[in-house]
Structure 1
Amino acid sequence: MKQIFQGRETEAGKNLLIENLDQQTLDSIKQSYKEEKGSMLWGDLSDEIKSRASELLNIPLPDLLIRAWRESGVLNKYINREEYDPEAVVIIELKEHTMISNHKPYLDIEINQKSIGKINFEINLELIVQGIILKIQDAKIKQIRTGNIKASGTINCEGHEIGKKESEEVDFPGTLDLGEGIPIAP
């Protein structure tokens, strides 16, 4: 997801999430922090919160795609080992399709094993995927090839939109070999 919302990271525009993290949310945690008498300086803790919030976007694109394919059931017929011999390799092309992916990560801030606040995020993505070719064997995705993706999405923090982005069309980089494969159904 990081590629979608941030593109290439630069020091100047490092992260939309960090730049727009709701000050009111941080002020509430700051007050709880003072009451608990934390040993770090508030500025250091605030920087750490922003850094950890940035890490919420560290979900690789293939993981998003596979999760969406699982949830939609588009590949479920390949689970049937009576119809699809586990030794046989099936190559399928997924023509243009739209995938919706929603995530609700959060940060729980603790001092001395006591929670002083929780920051809730909601990340909503729409992916338009074209021309992806999958190699399937033994009810597992073994390889993802070619295609392109266009994405749009929003990031909300505590109910407030803090980021919105639409990507250019991105070519999927050649072939992604998934080794032993990722099961179509968990």
Structure 2
Amino acid sequence: MTTTAAATEPFTVRAFLFGREDHGSAEALVGPLHGGGAARDLLSGTTRPLTAAADQAVEREMAAVIDSFLGLDLFDVAAGGWRKHADLTAAARRTRAAPGSEEVLALATHEITSRHRPYVDVLMDGVKIGTLEVGLDLAFRISGLVAVVRNAELVAVRSGACVLDGSLTVQQILLAERQGQLDLPGIWRLHTPLPLLRNEPPPPPPPPPPPTRAA
């Protein structure tokens, strides 16, 4: 499925995968969890079988926990890849060395991938009965990006398109997947400047000039 999105606020994984930002996406997860038998598999080793209603309650709790991982801002995820981009970091160093300077860069088509593997231990009567393993995979294919760097920060994205593939699994059961086209300038508009050298210490200050000697 392909859609085009231009965000007026931080655009999250939840909004991308489910087309909504409220936590109603948790309800959308219950059906795939039930159909894939994730709760049954976790509860099968317990000595006290649960009723069907209890199974459903466990599935709803699972869905709520999984949904809590979906508030990641997609632009922030992509920004993590841009901090590693050689052209952007080089421009950041140059503009840091010349305060007030600005560089406009047209970047070649590139890809940023991000894999997330959160997990939740599931307890019954205080005893661990299993681990809920969640998989979130994102792949950004970015083209036509024109970026503005000032004072070692990415301050604007003037153009650029991104095709994003995203998938969400739990216990290797596919819960959601989507492909969509993102409008990068639209997503960027309300974000603050992105420090590109966050993990890089500033260069040492130049040494003081030698003292002058009186004639």
Q: 1:21 is matched by which residue type in structure 2?
A: L
> Is the CA contact (8 Å cut-off) linking 2:88 and 2:149 kept in structure 1?
no
Gaps of 5+ in 2: 1-12, 200-215
Moved over 6 A (4+): 9-15
**Partner Cα distance (2:123, 2:28) in 1:** 24
Matched, 1:7 2:10: no
Which residue pairs with 1:159 in the alignment?
A: 172
Residue 173 of structure 2 aligns with an amino acid whose one-letter code is: H
Identity, % of aligned positions: 17
User: Which residue of structure 1 lines up, in the alignment, with residue 3 of structure 2?
Assistant: none
TM-score (norm 2): 0.64
- Residue in structure 2 matching 1:26, options 39, 59, 63: 39
Higher strand content, 1 or 2: 1
- Residues 1:87 and 2:100 are matched in the alignment: yes
- After TM superposition, the structure 1 = structure 2 runs for residues 166-181 of structure 1, keeping only pairs within 5 Å, are 166-167=179-180, 169-172=181-184, 173=186, 175-179=188-192, 181=194
> Is residue 2:150 matched to residue 1:126?
no
Larger radius of gyration: 2
Distance 1:81 1:20, change over 3 A: same
Q: 1:66 to 1:33 in 2, by over 3 A?
A: farther
Alignment of 1:100-139 (within 5 A): 100-110=113-123, 115-139=128-152
Aligned pairs, how many? 181
Residue aligning to 1:148: 161
Contact 2:147 2:156 in 1 (8 A): yes
1:13 deviation in Å? 7.8
Q: Which residue of 1 aligns with 2:10?
A: none
- The residue type equivalent to 1:130 in the other structure is S
Structure 1: distance between partners of 2:24 and 2:126: 35
2:67 equivalent to 1:54? yes
Deviation at 1:85, TM superposition (A): 1.8
Comparing 86-95 with 56-65, greater Cα deviation is found at: 86-95
